[in-house]
Amino acid sequence: MQAKAEQDSYSPGEKAKISVSVTEKATGKPVPASVCVGVVDEAVFDIVEQELDIAQQLYQDVFYPDILRSVSYKEYILDRAALETGGRGGGGGDEGEIREDFVDTALFQTVTADENGKAEVELSLPDNVTSWRITAAAVTPGLKAGNSVSNTIATL
């Protein structure tokens, strides 16, 4: 399977399209599947590396009945008044749009690949100037599974 952004790079806030293609490994024939697509700031994986093991995730209750839970989002309480007044340095600069949407997870969505093994996802990238990791995990109706990891960049 493959999940890849249509462009190698985007501007922060720009709409990005991710194309998903699911094929059988042995035959290369397209297959329908349920696909979970995640788009996460690559910096998150400097803190905790991602391990993608579809078989373990599908069958963990058979081999390990304990429930494991982890999160990648922590809410911060910000002083809105300080954010609205900005810095006090008196520096100049252009009067362009102020970027303010900085999240670590841009997308986490399940899509269905059709009988041609195709699916698409569109999202507006957050304002982060970063590399975004696109992770997709697919499961076919016959319980065959696969995954894909790729990147796209948000730059000014």
Confidence at 51, pLDDT banded by 50, 70, 90? confident
**Per-residue confidence (pLDDT) for residue 49, from 0 to 100:** 75
Confidence at 121, pLDDT banded by 50, 70, 90? very high
Helix (H) or strand (E) holding 85: helix 80-85
Determine which of 1-15, 80-94, 101-115 has the lowest per-residue pLDDT on average: 80-94
Q: Looking at the chain, how many residues does it have?
A: 156
Say what percent of the chain tops pLDDT 90: 52
Instruction: Find the radius of gyration of the CA atoms of the chain.
Output: 19
> Which range in 57-66, 72-81, 98-107, 132-141 is most confidently predicted, on average pLDDT?
132-141
Cα–Cα separations (whole angstroms), residue 126 to 1, 14, 130 = 26, 8, 10
Average pLDDT over residues 125-131: 91
Average pLDDT over residues 49-62: 67
pTM of the model: 0.70
Cα–Cα separations (whole angstroms), residue 124 to 12, 53, 75, 107, 154 = 8, 28, 21, 9, 11
Query: End-to-end alpha-carbon separation of the chain, Å?
Result: 31
